[in-house]
Amino acid sequence: MKPTKNSNLRIAVDFDGVLFDHVPYMLRGFRDAHGIDLEAEGLRYWDFFQYRAVRDAGLTWNCVRNVLHSIETDASLHRLPPRDPHAKSVMARWVEQGHEVYVVTAREEASRGVTELFLAHHGIPHHGLVMQASRKTGYDLLVDDAPHNVLMAAADGGRALLMDHPYNRDVPTKRNPIRVRDWRDVEAAVEAVQAVVA
């Protein structure tokens, strides 16, 4: 979907890895529950089952899901600072400019309470929270860390910004998707999109 001239944007912002810094908790979760150090393999895979240690330990999807679920429902973690303090001010400017801003996550409905807690506790402006999103297409712009999400969004005609992490560095990013390293990069990329359609 491409914005028409002088129109406002519909922006989707992922939660984990973009607003919420889930990586340290994920590493700790696998280490504490299963004695697995994902960093030893470079934390370079999005798919947990590509890690030799996960396969060697014989972990099932339910084991992995339990590690993630414990993070995604822990209220104390969601009171800790966001991944990037500039996200709040950038999203506030988007809202002030008239853009529609949604937080769109694959998290399960059981995580809604703590996800809303994080957004409210840190005062992150948004128009809505979409849970259990299996596809993140249909927006003018997506900010996400998952390779498959940004590639699908770009293929659908939207602008996709890939938040840089070791596990997504094999994704080619030049024109669309574009790799961003922090929320200052995100803001600059969105300003560039607006300049093109203005």
pLDDT tens track for 85-132: 999 999 999 999 999 999 999 999 999 999 999 999 999 999 999 999
State whether residue 37 is helix, strand or coil.
coil
Residue ranges of domains in the chain, CATH in brackets: 10-21+81-197 (3.40.50.1000), 23-78 (no CATH)
How high is the pLDDT of residue 44?
92
Of 2-6, 75-79, 152-156, the least confident: 2-6
Residue 24 is predicted with a pLDDT of: 96
User: Alpha helices, DSSP H only, in the chain?
Assistant: 23-34, 52-56, 61-72, 86-96, 112-121, 147-155, 183-197
Separation between Cα atoms, residue 31 and residue 38, nearest integer Å: 8
**2, pLDDT greater than 80:** no
**How many Å apart are CA 179 and CA 42, to the nearest integer?**
19
pLDDT tens per residue, range 144-197? 999 999 999 999 999 999 999 999 999 988 889 999 999 999 999 999 877 776
pLDDT(35) > 70: yes
Of 153, 98, 111, 154, the closest CA to residue 15 belongs to: 111
